[in-house]
């Protein structure tokens, strides 16, 4: 038995030694890990690795490097704890030039660096589009990574401006754009040969003849322009100012441009104006005895009248010089519209849930309902539950538009029963009837119904709007 205990003791000791050895190895392995930062296209990532080289560290980070990518430090550089590795992925960039298009795979991001990688240079005067956006001298400020560059190289053009001549470099498509891009101001009236809109391709020189300042007073405006000599008529033609009809100028069209450089155009208008405006007609109503109530008939359609005013006017520069008032008159008198409304009352009978009734009028109305506590009057108020006619509100009393239906009018409302007009409401107007209830038997109404007015009719309005 003692031998067995001895053997078990040795086994426990051996197991403990192995466990301690493994723990020590794990600690040593963990302590040997290097913590590095990998920056890929500006995005950084923390990586823990046991690799010995930059390439191994990137492999542990799950990153593959292509030959066109930019890597710093180099892939075979020894890996150190705390090292920062920068990887810039290469991308394809389309480069367009007048001679054609080409693709470039490069890790460069700045437009000028991309051009340099393609063996191209950006000179002053060149035109460059970055992803479709035109760029000039500010191209160095572009921080984005473009996918398309378009380069148009500049060319030399001789410019003669009076007694001064010089060369300018430009890639502009037209004469005008070349001068504008170079900061050469061409004033209105200056003569440019070839013209500002002439294509720059195929020409080697531009000639500018400067004009003198000219002031044209026309249409209440003062136009500051320029002219290269000639007559008043020539200057106006160059400025696009046309004379119409009786217009005239000071000086006259045949005179030379005055020393003070001011030309006045006087606009002359002579016309006869006839102004017409409609005269409204009135609408009147008249009863028709043989037409049943609630029906209408157009007796006369009516017609607008016409009021005419004729004036002869002569204006110079908008100022009236001569006026002949030829008067105004009623060219056509208005004719009133006459609407006939029925006054014939024909009693009729109808069977209802409450038995047969005889009525003299049936009107479509919008029905709502209310009760004492729903009438908007506080329960403690003196007039709580009292109608405008002085009666206590209960089922059978209704609110109406009193201008159409007088108090005491008896009606029948299908689904409600017999009703008496006994109340009014601030919003109850026209074809609106508010059905009264007690609080304990209230039924909500929101619908159109046909209201039957029982005979006789005590002074109802003949026309319901």
Measure CA 162 to chain center: 50
Kindly state the DSSP code that residue 239 receives in the 8-state scheme: H
Task: Return the higher-pLDDT residue of 6 and 319.
Answer: 319
Sketch the domain layout of the chain as residue ranges: 34-88, 91-152, 155-209, 212-266, 271-341, 345-454
The pLDDT value recorded for residue 347 is 95
Mean pLDDT of 376-383: 89
**Which stretch of 34-48, 93-107, 126-140, 175-189 has the lowest confidence by average pLDDT?**
126-140
Do 250 and 232 meet the contact criterion of CB atoms below 8 Å apart?
Answer: no
Residue 4 binned pLDDT confidence (cut-offs 50, 70, 90)? very low
Q: Which of 272, 269, 302 is nearest to 284 (CA)?
A: 302
Topology of 91-152 in CATH?
A: Ubiquitin-like (UB roll) (3.10.20)
Say which CATH class 34-88 falls into. Answer: alpha beta
Mean pLDDT of 117-123: 75
What is the pLDDT of the chain when averaged over all its residues? 85
Instruction: Say if domain 212-266 classifies as CATH 3.10.20.
Output: yes
Q: Which of 375, 448, 362, 366 is nearest to 401 (CA)?
A: 366
Residue 412, pLDDT > 90, answer: yes
Mean pLDDT of 423-434: 93
Mean pLDDT of 88-97: 82
Whether residue 265 has a cis bond before it, omega within 30° of 0: no
Report pLDDT digits (tens) over 321-332: 888 778 888 989
Topology of 345-454 in CATH?
A: Barwin-like endoglucanases (2.40.40)
Residue 23, pLDDT > 90, answer: no
Report pLDDT digits (tens) over 136-186: 666 666 666 787 878 777 778 899 988 899 888 887 888 888 888 888 888
Mean pLDDT of 286-301: 91
Query: Same fold for the domain at 34-88 and the one at 91-152?
Result: yes
Mean pLDDT of 359-383: 93
Q: Which of 125, 124, 129 is nearest to 101 (CA)?
A: 129
Q: How many CB atoms lie within 10 A of CB 455?
A: 13
CATH number for region 271-341: 2.20.230.10
The whole-angstrom separation of Cα 246 and Cα 319 is 15
Residue 21, pLDDT > 70, answer: no
């Amino acid at each position: 038995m003692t031998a067995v205990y001895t053997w078990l003791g040795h086994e426990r000791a051996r197991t403990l030694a192995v466990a301690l050895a493994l723990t020590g190895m794990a600690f040593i392995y963990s302590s040997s890990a290097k913590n590095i930062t990998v920056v890929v296209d500006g995005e950084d990532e923390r990586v823990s690795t046991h690799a010995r080289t930059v390439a191994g560290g990137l492999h542990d980070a799950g990153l593959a490097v292509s030959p066109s990518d930019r890597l710093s430090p180099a892939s075979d550089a020894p890996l150190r704890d705390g090292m920062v590795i920068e990887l810039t992925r290469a991308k394809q960039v389309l480069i367009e030039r007048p001679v054609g298009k080409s693709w470039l795979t490069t890790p460069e991001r700045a437009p000028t660096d991309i051009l340099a990688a393609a063996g191209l240079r950006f000179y002053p005067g060149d035109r460059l589009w970055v992803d479709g956006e035109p760029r000039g001298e500010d191209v160095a400020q572009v921080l984005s990574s473009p996918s398309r560059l378009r380069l148009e190289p500049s060319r030399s053009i001789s410019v003669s401006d009076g007694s001064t001549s010089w060369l300018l470099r430009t890639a502009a498509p037209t004469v005008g754009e070349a001068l504008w891009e170079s900061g050469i101001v061409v004033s209105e009236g200056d003569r440019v040969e070839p013209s500002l809109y002439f294509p720059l391709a195929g020409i080697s020189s531009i000639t500018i003849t400067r004009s003198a300042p000219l002031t044209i007073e026309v249409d209440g405006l003062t136009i500051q322009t320029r002219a290269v000599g000639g007559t008043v008529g020539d200057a106006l033609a160059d400025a696009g100012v046309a004379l119409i009809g009786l217009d005239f100028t000071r000086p006259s069209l045949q005179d030379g441009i005055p020393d003070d450089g001011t030309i006045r155009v006087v606009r002359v208008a002579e016309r006869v104006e006839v102004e017409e405006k409609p005269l409204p007609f009135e609408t009147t109503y008249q009863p028709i005895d043989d037409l049943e109530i609630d029906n209408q008939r157009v007796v006369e359609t009516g017609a607008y009248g016409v009021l005419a005013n004729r004036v002869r006017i002569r204006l110079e520069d908008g100022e009236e010089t001569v006026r002949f008032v030829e008067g105004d008159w009623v060219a056509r008198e208005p004719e009133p519209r006459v609407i006939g409304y029925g006054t014939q009352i024909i009693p009729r009978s109808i069977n209802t849930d409450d038995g047969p009734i005889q009525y003299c009028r049936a009107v479509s109305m919008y029905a709502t309902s209310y009760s004492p506590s729903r009438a908007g009057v506080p329960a403690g108020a003196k007039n709580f539950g009292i109608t405008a006619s002085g009666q206590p509100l209960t089922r059978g009393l209704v609110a109406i538009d009193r201008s159409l239906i007088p108090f005491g009018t008896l009606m029948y409302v299908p689904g409600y029963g017999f009703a008496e007009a006994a109340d009014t409401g601030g919003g109850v107007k026209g074809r609106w009837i508010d059905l009264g209830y007690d609080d304990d038997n209230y039924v909500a109404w929101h619908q159109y119904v046909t209201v039957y007015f029982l005979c006789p009719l005590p002074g109802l309005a003949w026309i319901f709007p």
